[in-house]
């Protein structure tokens, strides 16, 4: 059995794909998004977050190893909720595809139990890995952070060339896709770039089930403090309503969900 390094399993999640889901947070990511709200999952390996509570110094360990079979059996305890709501399990992170053998094996075991899986990915892995890890998955939740490569490098530290190529290959294979976009003021909110992202999404065809716009938030700030690293985002924290009106116009013809509201 393959072993993986995960931080938590979030039960009864309704934000990580269809229905009620359990989200497995895998440790480690190869991108460095400036807005990452899970720095404890971005950095590789086990780690310790330090904080004070009621005047006392405390610490919280992040990351534990688990075998695929043990994880699948744990996740299967909520199978009744998945079945009744069209839900399942979502592998997230961090970048779950970096632990692809473990994730693929767990998804295969779940599939054998009749439980649907989804991969939440930024897509910056070799195509052969992405193809293999999604083989037993019903959905792929795919981040499109920018269209422009230079903007992507500024926001995440890496090129998006492979990411956009992999997205097209997933669509060509007919994988069901939910596109995810986080819009961060002054980083990736340029409407011309959004227009190009939407054109790309439209070109992928019927395999795109919807586009989820995830709200940028600063809830991760405290975690940076606890890990002893500076919070990388500076500048505005909110996007005005007028922006979303223009944004929706660019997405006409696509099912878009902005922060939980259908549009």
Q: 246 to each of 143, 160, 194, 250, 252, how far by Cα in Å?
A: 21, 25, 10, 7, 10
Under the binding rule (CB under 6 A), the answer on residue 93 touching ligand SF4 is yes
Under the binding rule (CB under 6 A), the answer on residue 94 touching ligand SF4 is yes
Q: Which is nearer to ligand SF4, 82 or 216 (CB)?
A: 216
Number of residues that bind ligand SF4 (CB under 6 A): 12
Binding mask 13-42 for ligand SF4 (x = CB under 6 A): ----------------x-xxx--x-x--xx
Provide, for the chain, the percentages of residues in helix, strand and coil under a 3-state DSSP scheme, each rounded to the nearest 5.
35, 25, 35
Please, which residues bridge with residue 148 across strands? none
Q: Which is nearer to ligand SF4, 17 or 93 (CB)?
A: 93
Q: Which is nearer to ligand SF4, 29 or 137 (CB)?
A: 29
Radius of gyration of the chain measured on its C-alpha atoms: 18
Q: Which is nearer to ligand SF4, 98 or 137 (CB)?
A: 98
| Torsion from C-alpha of 24, 140, 175, 210, nearest 10 degrees | 140
Under the binding rule (CB under 6 A), the answer on residue 101 touching ligand SF4 is no
Site for ligand SF4 in 118-157 (CB under 6 A): 122
Spatial contact of 139 and 16, defined as CB atoms under 8 Å apart = no
Under the binding rule (CB under 6 A), the answer on residue 49 touching ligand SF4 is no
Cα angle, residue 132 at apex, residues 128 and 136 outer, rounded to 5°? 160
Cβ of residue 124: shortest distance to ligand SF4, in angstroms?
A: 8
Task: Count other C-beta atoms under 10 Å from residue 123's C-beta.
Answer: 24
CA–CA distance, 207 with 17 (Å, rounded to integer) = 14
Q: Which is nearer to ligand SF4, 72 or 183 (CB)?
A: 183
Q: Which is nearer to ligand SF4, 38 or 90 (CB)?
A: 38
Under the binding rule (CB under 6 A), the answer on residue 95 touching ligand SF4 is yes
Interface residues with ligand SF4 (CB under 6 A) are: 29, 31-33, 36, 38, 41-42, 93-95, 122
């Amino acid at each position: 059995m393959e072993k993986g390094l995960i931080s938590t399993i979030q039960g009864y999640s309704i934000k990580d794909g269809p229905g009620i889901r359990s989200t497995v947070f895998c440790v480690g990511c190869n991108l460095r998004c400036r807005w990452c709200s899970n720095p404890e999952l971005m950095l590789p390996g086990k780690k310790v977050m330090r904080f004070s509570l009621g005047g006392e110094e405390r610490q919280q360990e992040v990351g534990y190893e688990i075998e695929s079979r043990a994880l699948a059996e744990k996740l299967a305890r909520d199978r009744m909720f998945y079945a009744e709501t069209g839900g399942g399990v979502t592998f997230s992170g961090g970048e779950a595809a970096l632990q692809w053998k473990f994730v693929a094996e767990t998804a295969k075991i779940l599939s054998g139990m009749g439980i649907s899986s989804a991969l939440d990915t930024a897509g910056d892995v070799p195509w052969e890995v992405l193809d293999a890890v999604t083989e037993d998955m019903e959905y792929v939740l795919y981040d499109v952070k920018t269209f422009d490569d230079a903007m992507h490098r500024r926001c995440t530290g890496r090129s998006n060339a492979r990411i956009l190529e992999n997205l097209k290959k997933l669509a060509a294979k007919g994988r069901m896709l939910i596109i995810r976009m986080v819009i961060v003021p002054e980083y990736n909110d340029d409407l011309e770039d959004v227009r190009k992202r939407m054109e790309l999404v439209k070109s992928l065809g019927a395999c795109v089930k919807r586009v989820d716009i995830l709200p940028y938030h600063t809830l991760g700030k405290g975690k940076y403090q606890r890990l002893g690293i500076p919070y990388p985002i500076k500048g505005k924290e909110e996007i005005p309503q007028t922006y979303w009106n223009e944004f929706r116009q660019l997405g006409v013809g696509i099912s878009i969900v902005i922060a939980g509201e259908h549009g």
